[in-house]
Structure 1
Amino acid sequence: MDQKLDHQILDQLKKCSKDEASFSKLEEIFGELYQHYEEVKKQLSLVEQAIKHDYDSILITELDLEKPGPKIVYVNDGFTKMTGYTKEEVLGKTPRILQGEKTDRHVLDRLKERLIEGQAFFGHTVNYKKDGSEFVNQWDIHPLTNKNGEITHWVSYQRDITDRKESSKLIFDANLDFDNLIEESKKTYVDLDIQGNIIASNNSFKNLLGYDADELKTVKIWDLVSDDDQKELKNLFADFDSKKVEDESYPWKFIQKDGDEVKLEGNINYFVSNDETIIRVHFDNISLRNRIVETLKRKKSEFEDIVGKKDEFSLRFVITEDGETGCKFVSDSFKSVTGLDPDTILGNGVKDVIHADDLSDIEKALEKAFNGTPSSISCKYKTSEGDYISVIQSFKPDYGSSGEVVESVKSVAVIELEVEN
C-alpha cells in the first residue's frame, strides 16, 4: 500500500475492528480505495488545469431537468472563484441559485429545449454571484454518457465574459461610430449578438421606430416585429448559422413606438469581435420604397400629359446557354425614354447602357431575382445625348408554366424625372 493513511483515519478503522486481523484487512481495503481516490483526484486536477485557460468554471449536474431542476453534484475551484459560493453551499442545489431579475428567460427556455433534445448548448446571459453582483455568464453545456451511450449528467463549462461584452460595446462606440458618417447614416441597421440582443443601432433605425438607445437595450429584435414574424426571427437566432442567412433577404413588419407598422427587408451579415459573433442586419425600407413607386406612378400620367413622352420601359432577362445573363425583350418605350435603339441591349444585356457605378447593383438584383427574390434599385441609364437618366428599376422572377423554376426576370424601369450630366 503506497498511500499512507493519517492517524485520524487509522483510529476510526480500529474502532470499527473487532480484532487486529480485521483491522489489518480494513486498513488494506481502505488504503486501496484511498489510493484510487487520490489517483482520480489527480487526474481530475490535470483535466481542470488543461482547460482552465478556456473556461473559468466547471459544473456538473444530474440529468433531471424538471422542477426544481437538475441538482449540482460537482463544481471546481473556478466556480467558487467566479461566483463566491463554496462547494458545500451549492452541492445538492440547482443552477437556479445563480439566476435573477436580468437573467434572460428566452435563453433559459432555449437551453432547456436543447437539453431535452439531448443536444449541447452554447449561450450566455446575466447571472448573479453570492454577493448579489451581476456578471455575464457564458455556458458551453454538453451531455455526459455511460458506457451504453445513455445520458447520465450534464457538464457545464462556464466563463465570465462581462469585460469582453463591455469592450465589444466600446469597439462599437469608438470604431463603428456610423452615426457621424455621412454615407453610413443614410443606411438603417442594427448590430445583434447571437441571442437577439441589440448591441448597437444607428440613428436611422432608432428614428424610424421611435425608440431611443436605452429602450432598445431592454428588448430583443423579435420584440419589435409583428406577431406573424416573431417565430421566424426566434428560429433564426435559436441556432444561428451564418452560412444559411448571409445571402438571403428577410421581409419583416416592425411595429413603431406609436403603434404604426413599417415593413423592412433585412439583409444579414456577421463578423467576430473579441471572439464574439456579431450579427449586422441592414434594412431596406420596403414601405418607403413602395410609397416612392406609387408616387412615381401617380406622376406618370402627369408627365405624359405634359411632354407627351413615356416615362417607363420594360425588359425581360434570361440566362443564356453559356450561363451569362442576357436580355430577350425590350419594350418600344425604351427608345422613347433613352433615345437608344433596343438592339443595343438585346442579347447582350444592359452593361453597355448602365452607369458604371450601378453595374454591381444591377447584377446583384438580377441574381436575387433568378433565385426567386424580387427587389428594386435606383440606377442611371445612358441616353443618346450622352447624359444619364435616373430610374427606379424593379426585378421580378417569372416562374413560367412550371411554377417552380425561375425561367426569366421581368424588369420595369420608371423614370425619376431628372437628368444628370
Structure 2
Amino acid sequence: MDQKILDQLKQCSKDEASYSKLKELYNELESRYSKVSKQLSLLEQAIKHDYDSILITELDLEKPGPRIVYVNDGFTKMTGYTKEEALGKTPRILQGEKTDRHVLDRLKERLIEGQAFFGHTVNYKKDGSEFINQWDIHPLTNKNGEITHWVSYQRDITDRKETSKVVFDANLDFDNLVEESKKTFVDLDVQGNIISSNSSFKNLLGYDADEFKTIKVWDLVVDEDKKEMKDLFSDFDPEKLEENPYPWEFIKKDGETVRLEGKVNYFVSNEETIIRIHFDNISLRERIIETLKKKKKNLENIVDKKDEFVLRFVINEEGQTGCKFVSEGYTAITGLDPDAVINDGVKNAVHADDLRVIEEALEKAFEGKSSSVNCRYKTSDGDHISVVQSFKPDYGSDGETVESVKSVAMIELEVE
C-alpha cells in the first residue's frame, strides 16, 4: 500500500485497532475497485469495434439536462473533451446549430417512456468541428428494476455518411421505421428483379415476399406500362431517370388494378446499385378529391355561398409578379376588397408565414410547373381561413411561353 495513504489512515485512527481496521477496509475497497475497473475495461474492449465512445448520464431529463457521470477514453478521442471537462456537464456540450431538434425531441420522448433509442445527427467537437454522431442509448436499472442512469454508446459515422452507402435517412430511428413502413416502396436490382419491399407495398398488391422473388417489376403492371418499365429497369441507366414521378397502373393479385405514382431513386450498398421506388397511391388520392368535391357541393347547398375564388397572376414589364384579376368569391369568403389584392398582390392578403410558400408556387408556375399549397387568407373580422390553393400555368399562342398563372383557392375541408 502507498506510504502516503498509510500515513493518512494513521492520522485518521485513534489507536492501533482502528488503524488496522481502516487498512483492512481500504484494501477491500481497493480490491473491489480493481475488479470493477477490469470488468469495465473488458466491456469497453468488447464493444470498441462497434462504438467509439461510451457516455453515462444521470436519470434527470429536465433542464439543464442529465449530468454526465462517466465517459471513456473513446469519448475524449472522438470529441476532444477531457474527462474532467465532460463530467458534471450535460450532453448539450456536443450540440450546435445543425443539431436536428426533431431527433433530440424524439430522443427525449423515448427516454421519458423508459425506452431505448437509436439515431444520429450532427454534433460538435470541442474545437467546433462538425461530425455525425450515432447514438445507441439504453436505460440502466438497479436490482429493483428502477431506471437510475442512461448509457449511450456512440460512434462517429461521418465518413460512412459521405460514401452514399447509407440506406436510411439521417433522422431515422428505430421507432420511425414503423412510420417508414406506412409508406409504399420497393427495392429492385439493375435488371428489374424485386429485392425487397415493405409491408405496405405487399399488402397493397396482395402478394407475399416469396411470390415477389420470381416476379420482374414490369410483370406487375398493365400492358400499356410494361414497355416503359422494361426500358427503364431491364438494364438500368441513371441517365434515363426523369425528375417527375412515373404514373403506372399495377395489377393486384385479385385482378383489380390500382394507379400508383412512382418516384425513382437509387443508392449504392456493398458496391451494388439498388433502385428504390417510393409510390404515391393515385387511386386513393382521387377518392379523396371526390370526397372533397362532394363536401364542397354539400357546403354550397347548405350555406348557399361561395367556397372558392379565382386569381390570375401576370409578370409586368419590370419583371414583377402582380395580380390582374380576383373573382367575386374572394369578397364573399373573406369580406375584403379585391382591389387591395390587385393593387398590392397577396402579400397583405395572406398569413405572413404562408407568403413564401405562395411565392415559390408562383415561381414554379411561371416556369411551367403546376402545384398546390395549403395557406391561410385574412378575413375582415381579423381571423384567417384555410384554403387549398392551386397554381396552373396558362401558355400563350406559341404553346411554350407562360403568359399568366390561374390560381384557384378552395376552402379546406376535412375528409371523412
TM-score, normalised on structure 2? 0.48
